Amino acid sequence: MSSKSAKKIDTRLVILRNAKHLFAQHGYSGVSVRDIAGTCGIQAASLYHHFPDKQALYLATMEYAFSDKADEIAEVTTIAGSPKERLSDFIGRFTTLMADDPEFRILLQRELLDGDEERLKLAAHEVFERPFKAITDLVEEIAPECDPHMLAISLAGLILFHFETAPIRRYLPGGKKSHNDPKVIAEHVLTLLSRTLESPQ
């Protein structure tokens, strides 16, 4: 790889890292291309050399934020082991991934709240489709009598909601510091889901 190519890749990564932080802090509408370029120490024209427009940059930022997670999710759902063992591995890994990247969780929450149909459609197809398919395939194998789409959404929701409600949960009766531990959350979700799937229909 030439030094020119390496520099181009480095600049792109700098842009994505800064864009991720700014989009998480201020949302899509609250950040301009000029803001991101300024934070990166480059001119807006230089940023457009890497991304044709703000929406392309935003989608690339979502892909950047989720790419490592998508790979791990797809991998952990297909490794050797029984379906329940793979489910346990998935829940543990997904919980840890979400705990380790609060900016990604904020990006996702903002996108859902903004509700821009075009961006949601792009994110669904370009960012989340592959890992979601891996999860639906796994839960369908475990509980073929259930709707795999609904079950996969419920599974992800159970994990994500624990993090989303963390700021208020500590003030609610019975709230403990340990409830924010990814391992505790994963064990709880796995126990809850296992009991539900094993109960008579």
User: Domain limits at 42?
Assistant: 1-51
In this structure, are 129 and 114 located in the same domain? yes
Let me know whether 63 and 33 are in one domain.
no
* 41 and 75 within one domain: no
Let me know: does 19 contact 57? Beta carbons within 8 Å.
yes
Q: How confident is the model at residue 4 (pLDDT cuts 50, 70, 90)?
A: low
> Which tens digit of pLDDT belongs to each residue from 29-51?
999 999 999 999 999 999 999 99
> What total number of domains does the chain contain?
2
pLDDT category at 67 given cuts 50, 70, 90 is: confident
Predicted model pTM? 0.81
Q: 37: domain CATH number?
A: 1.10.10.60
- The CATH number of whichever domain residue 62 belongs to comes to 1.10.357.10
| Residue 170 CA: distances (Å) to CA of 17, 100, 186 | 31, 19, 18
For tokens 């398919």, name the residue.
Answer: 133
